């Protein structure tokens, strides 16, 4: 199984962005959950997929765990940067029901900011 991947955490416009680079497999779980823990104060989290590799069932397993953790805290997960391949797997597994997918980082941030403003009013 390919294992070249990297999980990093950054912030833009007050939104934590977890960037997953490369293959989405079970090996991202530890870093993914650690990144989520660091961002757990935020109401919204954006996951950005870059330099896509494959997506494996063990990677889906890690994302389910993230969704469950976010649900516990009442957080919303957004995602962007999905390739066609990733998008079809997200549809198959119904992750799209729990993760709001945007075509780009800018659009995802727009959606989040608007949501924040609305919620703020």
Partner 1 sequence: MQLNEYQLLFYLHALYEFANEVSKRRNVEDVLKSMLSTVVGTFAIRKGMVLTSHSGDSGFDLVTHQHLEPSAVERVSQQLSEGIQDNLEEVSGLVKLSSPVKNADTLSTIRELMASAGMTTVIVLRVQGKLNAYVGLGEMLRGTPFYEHQIELLNAVTSHTEVALENALFCQDIIQENQQLKEALHKRYRFDNIIGQSAKMQEIYQRIQQIAGYANYSVLISGESGTGKELIARAIYHHSPRKDKKFIAINCAALPQTLVESQLFGHEKGIFTGATDTRKGFFEVAEGGTIFLDEIAEMPTETQAKLLRVLDRKEFMRLGESNVRTADVRVIAATNRDLKEALADGHLRGDLFFRFDIKIHTPPLRDRKEDIPLLVDAFLEKIAQENQHPVQEMSPQGLKLLMDYHWPGNVRELENVLLEANMVSEGNAIRTKDIHLSQDELQTAIQEGLSLKDSVERFKQMMIEKALNDCEGNRSKAATQLGMSRQNLQNMIKRMNTT
| Angle 83-88-91 from CA coordinates, rounded to 5° | 125
Residues 36 and 30: their CA atoms lie apart, in Å, by 10
Single residue of 7, 20, 46, 60 touching partner 1 by CB under 8 A? 60
* Smallest separation (angstroms) from partner 1 to the CB of 65: 6
Kindly state whether residue 34 participates in binding partner 1, applying the rule CB under 8 A.
no
Which residues, 6 or more positions from 38, have their beta carbon under 8 angstroms from its beta carbon? 9, 16
Decide whether 26 or 115 has the Cβ nearer to partner 1: 26
* Smallest separation (angstroms) from partner 1 to the CB of 21: 20
Residues 43 and 71: their CA atoms lie apart, in Å, by 11
Decide whether 1 or 117 has the Cβ nearer to partner 1: 1
Binders of partner 1 among residues 66 to 105 (CB under 8 A) are: 67-68, 84-85, 88-89, 91-95, 97-98
DSSP-derived letter for residue 55 is B
* Smallest separation (angstroms) from partner 1 to the CB of 22: 16
Between the alpha carbon of residue 70 and those of residues 12, 54, 99, the distances in Å are 19, 24, 10
Assess contact for 2 and 23: CB atoms under 8 A: yes
Footprint on this chain of partner 1 (rule: CB under 8 A): 1, 26, 54-61, 64-65, 67-68, 84-85, 88-89, 91-95, 97-98
């Amino acid at each position: 199984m390919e294992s070249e991947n990297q999980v990093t955490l950054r912030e833009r416009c007050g939104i934590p962005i977890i960037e997953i680079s490369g293959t989405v497999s079970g090996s991202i779980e530890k870093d993914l959950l650690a990144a989520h823990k660091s961002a757990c104060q935020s109401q919204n989290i954006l996951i950005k997929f870059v330099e896509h590799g494959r997506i494996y069932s063990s990677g889906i397993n890690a994302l389910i765990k993230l969704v469950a953790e976010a649900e516990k805290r009442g957080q919303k997960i957004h995602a962007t940067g999905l390739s066609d391949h990733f998008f079809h797997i997200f549809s198959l597994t119904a992750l799209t029901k729990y993760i709001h997918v945007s075509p780009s980082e800018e659009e995802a941030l727009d959606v989040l900011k608007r949501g924040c403003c609305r919620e703020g009013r």
